[in-house]
Amino acid sequence: MFKIKSSSKSQPKPIKRKMGLLSRMGLAEEKKYFVENLSMLLASGMSILAALKAIRVELKSVQMKRMVRGLEEDINN
């Protein structure tokens, strides 16, 4: 009588994960790395733009790289 569709080829749904404390610790560590290294590079006499570029190359997270690139653009303007 009633036809029930059962799809054996259905795609699994992606799991949405919230950023927990442990996943945010990586970003906090990168912020700490950024501040410490910027301070050290500026104290050594390096220009701020050169210091930001040097730090950006070493960063792992895309979010921090975008932030540093934004700082560079703001300083250039």
Instruction: Give the angle 46-65-62 at the CA atoms, nearest 5°.
Output: 160
Q: Which helix (H) or strand (E) holds 15?
A: none
Mean pLDDT computed over every residue of the chain: 80
What number of H helices and E strands is found in the chain?
Answer: 3, 0
41-70 pLDDT tens trace? 999 999 999 999 999 999 988 999 999 999
Global confidence as pTM: 0.65
Q: Are 47 and 30 in contact (CB under 8 A)?
A: no
* pLDDT surpasses 60 at 31: yes
* pLDDT surpasses 50 at 21: no
Helices 62-76 & 21-43 angle (0-180, nearest 10): 40
In the block, tokens 């949405």 appear at: 16
